[in-house]
A and B are shown apart, each in its own frame.
Chain A
Amino acid sequence: MTWLEQEIARNQKRIDKINANPDSTKIKANKLLYELERDLRIAQLEAWKTGNKPLINSDHLPPLVYALGGIGIDSMGAADRTMLATEYFNVLRSNNFPDDACDRTIVIIALCVSKNFPPPNFVIATSFACPMECVSPKAIGEYFNMPVFHIDTTLEITDAGLTYVTDQLGEMIEFAEAKVPGIKYSEERLLYALEYDTIAHNCAKEIHKLRKRVPCPLAGQDAFRLPRIPSMYPDPKKGAEYWKQFSEEMQERAEKGYGVLPDEKLRFLWAVTGPFYFNPFDILAKRGVAVPALQFGVMSRWFGAEYGLFGDEKEYGRKLKPLEELARFLNGNTWAGVGHRWVDSTVNMAKDLKCDGIIYFLQLGCSASGGVSRLVAEKAERELGIPTLMLEGRQLDPFYKSQQESEEEMNAFIDLCLEKKKSKSK
């Protein structure tokens, strides 16, 4: 069974379980989510097996992939869902690929090379977050001899940068139409995709308002559950429907004053990424620590904490055209920029969400976040008086660091923050 077939089966099992035995304590929107995930995998599998539509990697540009008439391949997103990556490191070593880079960016190469996951028929390699997110799909494209188009994003947010990236998007469309059978750009489809992505974005902004509430109505797992942008799915309308349902349920919980934790003692901002091979929120929840948000490169923007996306007119002082909206998104990832963009947005987020501490996951090989970790910690301490735990780890590799070791570090950090909070309130 390929990885896609396993995913289809897994999601179907979840749906069947909900149908057979609905659990009123769980989020009801989950069912819709599992259906969307299953349908995405079915569409990917079909395109892979039959070639009915071109597969295009779409981690960074789902609406454009939709507008080009392709089926999106979520390269890094799929790697995230492997949970355990150990077996893939050997595949990488034997093919002369690095095995100690950020694991989500290399595991996907191994998934494709071992024929477990479809390589895209057309690769869009963008420097959206970090060099690895650009060269990983590129390496896959070159390995399978598929056309690759590169999009260069900018360090700072400027008008010139917006024009630069928009121009490249135009060139990419021309390239794709000329090189990839089955690709035809339709602005109508782009507008359709953006319409539903905007609905999701607005829901995300509403959810973000809830994150600020004390007690926090979102569980730590929910903070980590970042639903996909609707245009990633074959049916964006259904994707937006899920966002609406999810957001409404969160509102309902908040209105009922339903905090996820019976007694919220502390609030932590979780930054960068986390270990996917165990659930770090259990230990936090047990000790009364809420995690209102996961902070990463596009978080502030996607949740409207800083400038928004899709329709925001403040940032550039005007309404943007559809391709410009995509360029804004590509340049808007604070990770890919100069460090203070990420440092400032992280500390602002911690402030906004009234956090008592930051857990900063030092993901092995993450050049975006590792080199400025101390800058975040110093600024948070200086401006907010809150400490930061540098939790070293690897997203998909349990042998790099054990669950027990991570939990010990988190427990010690909770003690420190409780102590600090107590002395502040005196």
Chain B
Amino acid sequence: MHTTLSSEKGLKELTTLSLEANRTKYALQWKKDGKKVAGLLCSYIPEEIVHAAGVLPWRVFGTWQAGTPHANEWRPADTCLYCNHVLEALLTDRLEFLDAVVATDWDQELVRLWDVWRYVEKTPATIIIDVPIINTDTAVKFLAQQFTKFLGEMEKLAGRPITDDDLKRSIAVLERTRHLVKRLYELRNTETPALTGAEMLGITTAAMLMPKEEFNERVEALLPFLEKRRVPAEKSRPRLLVSSDRLDNPGHLAAIEETGCIVAMDDLDTGSRHYWRTIEIGSASSPVLRQELVSALARRYLMQPASPRMMNWEDQVDQVVHWVRDYNIQGVIELPQGFSRYREFRANYFKNKLEEAGIPVMSYRREYIVSNVGQMKTRVGAFIEMIESKA
């Protein structure tokens, strides 16, 4: 089996899983096996707790079709495009297999999506987690309380208690996923990376759509193949970093790379930000109490490389600067999704600070779906020219 997985074909199976036609594959099989699926709307939801309940944590992406006529009947058009496309998928019955949907207050747009979801009663359980926008000790304590409540809700959904051992096992599985994904990121930190940015995003999103154990197994099998794989040298420069939120369609990155560059690193909540931070749990020798496990999870989620929804803007820029240096990046492309207000209000700060650090940066307001590719390519092309003229 591993020979098939460890090949271009095995890679393609992962990188194309987020396509609309493919993304429900594992979830539907999971349901067929008599198990439950929870749709997750944000990267601040502790997948470990869902996993520990024996429920499949399945990240909800929106429809990649252009119009959102059904969603527009519920939400003004000038609102978060990701939320509009998700609601469209819900209202057109593409998400009817979900047993629960879990949101957070990533921003108010997401809360309002959850409000409508709850109201239309299409999913048996609708849960929301109140995630702080700050990451102080006080906030970690508050989030731990929220996670404890969420754990109770997952127990209810599963119809059984979650034991400490369940939780520890799930933490270990998720940590393995993070470890493997970070290994893939390392393979991109070379002169000729093993994967393009679009391929990498395909893999990071695939992990959100399939059972983690199977993902881990597939990536372990793929690694020997990827360690030898190289993107052609002529497509390996300049090296750019893309920064955005809720960007789940590798087509955006593919379009950028088609202009003659490589997205060698990302600052995405569907990419690096989601996998970077590991979990720290007490000392190895002493037994760990449930409360410590939950607190460790809360700390991990609040301390992960932050989305602009968090108020630690300085850390967010520092993280990007660190990645730029570490991955030998020549320029940063910010792709704010239309009406993503946290990022838009941070834009002035982000640009100024990166420029102060001597890092070229451009911004292009994108749609949720891949559209206006020509216009984007023109802008990116000009940016690349500017970078190369300075080199």
Bind each other: yes
Chain A residues in the interface with B (C-beta under 8 A): 95-98, 100-101, 125, 127, 130-132, 134-136, 138-139, 142-143, 148, 150, 152, 154-156, 160-161, 164, 167-168, 171, 336, 338-340, 343, 362, 364-365, 367-368, 370-375, 392
Interface residues of B in 106-158 (CB under 8 A from A): 107-109, 111-116, 118-119, 128, 130, 132-134, 136, 138-139, 141-142, 145
In the complex, 30 of the A-B residue pairs with CB atoms within 8 angstroms, ordered by the A residue number, are A96-B348, A97-B344, A97-B347, A98-B341, A131-B309, A134-B133, A135-B341, A138-B345, A143-B348, A150-B311, A152-B133, A160-B142, A160-B145, A164-B139, A167-B138, A339-B111, A339-B114, A339-B119, A340-B115, A364-B78, A365-B341, A367-B80, A370-B78, A370-B79, A370-B112, A371-B76, A371-B83, A371-B112, A371-B115, A392-B76
| Contact B112 A171, beta carbon cutoff 8 Å | no
For the complex, give the distance between the alpha carbons of A138 and B76 in Å: 26
Q: How many chain B residues have a CB neighbour from A under 8 Å?
A: 45
User: Is the CB of B75 closer than 8 A to any CB of chain A?
Assistant: yes
Give the nearest-CB partner of B133 in chain A: A152
| Contact B115 A372, beta carbon cutoff 8 Å | yes
For the complex, give the distance between the alpha carbons of A396 and B136 in Å: 37
Instruction: List 11 additional contacts besides A131-B309, A138-B313, A161-B130; criterion CB under 8 Å.
Output: A101-B341, A143-B348, A148-B311, A150-B134, A164-B138, A168-B138, A338-B128, A340-B115, A365-B341, A370-B75, A373-B76
| Contact A98 B345, beta carbon cutoff 8 Å | yes
Question: Please, which residues of chain A bring their CB within 8 A of the CB of B83?
Answer: 371
Question: Please, which residues of chain A bring their CB within 8 A of the CB of B119?
Answer: 339, 375
| 6 nearest A-B residue pairs (beta carbon) | A371-B112, A339-B115, A135-B345, A367-B108, A98-B344, A150-B311
Interface residues of B in 324-382 (CB under 8 A from A): 339, 341-342, 344-349, 351, 363
- Nearest CB of chain A from residue B63's CB, rounded to whole Å: 18
Which of B80, B115, B346 is in CB contact (< 8 Å) with A375? B115
- Nearest CB of chain A from residue B114's CB, rounded to whole Å: 8
- Nearest CB of chain B from residue A43's CB, rounded to whole Å: 28
| Contact A136 B108, beta carbon cutoff 8 Å | no
**Residues of B contacting A: mostly:** helix
Give the nearest-CB partner of A170 in chain B: B138
Question: Please, which residues of chain A bring their CB within 8 A of the CB of B80?
Answer: 367
Question: Please, which residues of chain B bring their CB within 8 A of the CB of A339?
Answer: 111-112, 114-116, 119
For the complex, give the distance between the alpha carbons of A125 and B312 in Å: 12
Question: Please, which residues of chain B bring their CB within 8 A of the CB of A336?
Answer: 108
| Contact B348 A375, beta carbon cutoff 8 Å | no
Question: Please, which residues of chain B bring their CB within 8 A of the CB of A375?
Answer: 115-116, 119
Question: Please, which residues of chain B bring their CB within 8 A of the CB of A365?
Answer: 78, 339, 341
Report if A371-B133 is in contact (Cβ < 8 Å); known contacts: A96-B347, A96-B363, A136-B345: no
| Contact B130 A154, beta carbon cutoff 8 Å | yes
User: Is the CB of B33 closer than 8 A to any CB of chain A?
Assistant: no
Question: Please, which residues of chain A bring their CB within 8 A of the CB of B73?
Answer: 374
User: Is the CB of B269 closer than 8 A to any CB of chain A?
Assistant: no
Chain B residues in the interface with A (C-beta under 8 A): 73-76, 78-80, 83, 105, 107-109, 111-116, 118-119, 128, 130, 132-134, 136, 138-139, 141-142, 145, 309, 311, 313, 339, 341-342, 344-349, 351, 363
Give the nearest-CB partner of A168 in chain B: B138
Question: Please, which residues of chain B bring their CB within 8 A of the CB of A130?
Answer: 108
- Nearest CB of chain A from residue B361's CB, rounded to whole Å: 10
Which of A168, A336, A339, A367 has the most C-beta atoms of chain B within 10 angstroms of its own C-beta?
A367
| Contact B139 A152, beta carbon cutoff 8 Å | yes
| Contact A142 B138, beta carbon cutoff 8 Å | no
For the complex, give the distance between the alpha carbons of A374 and B116 in Å: 9
For the complex, give the distance between the alpha carbons of A87 and B214 in Å: 57
Report if A367-B311 is in contact (Cβ < 8 Å); known contacts: A96-B347, A152-B134: no
| Contact B111 A155, beta carbon cutoff 8 Å | yes
Give the nearest-CB partner of A101 in chain B: B341
Question: Please, which residues of chain B bring their CB within 8 A of the CB of A127?
Answer: 133
Which of A100, A150, A373 is in CB contact (< 8 Å) with B133? A150
- Nearest CB of chain A from residue B348's CB, rounded to whole Å: 5
- Nearest CB of chain A from residue B127's CB, rounded to whole Å: 11
Report if A142-B313 is in contact (Cβ < 8 Å); known contacts: A98-B344, A152-B133, A338-B115: yes
For the complex, give the distance between the alpha carbons of A372 and B116 in Å: 7
| Contact A374 B115, beta carbon cutoff 8 Å | no
Give the nearest-CB partner of A378 in chain B: B119
| Contact B349 A143, beta carbon cutoff 8 Å | yes
Which of A98, A152, A368 is in CB contact (< 8 Å) with B108? A368
Question: Please, which residues of chain B bring their CB within 8 A of the CB of A148?
Answer: 311
- Nearest CB of chain B from residue A166's CB, rounded to whole Å: 10
- Nearest CB of chain A from residue B135's CB, rounded to whole Å: 10
Question: Please, which residues of chain A bring their CB within 8 A of the CB of B142?
Answer: 152, 154, 160-161, 164
Report if A156-B115 is in contact (Cβ < 8 Å); known contacts: A138-B345, A142-B313, A371-B79: no
Question: Please, which residues of chain B bring their CB within 8 A of the CB of A100?
Answer: 78, 339
- Nearest CB of chain A from residue B283's CB, rounded to whole Å: 28
For the complex, give the distance between the alpha carbons of A167 and B138 in Å: 7
Which of B112, B132, B139 is in CB contact (< 8 Å) with A367? B112
Report if A132-B128 is in contact (Cβ < 8 Å); known contacts: A142-B313, A340-B115, A367-B108: no
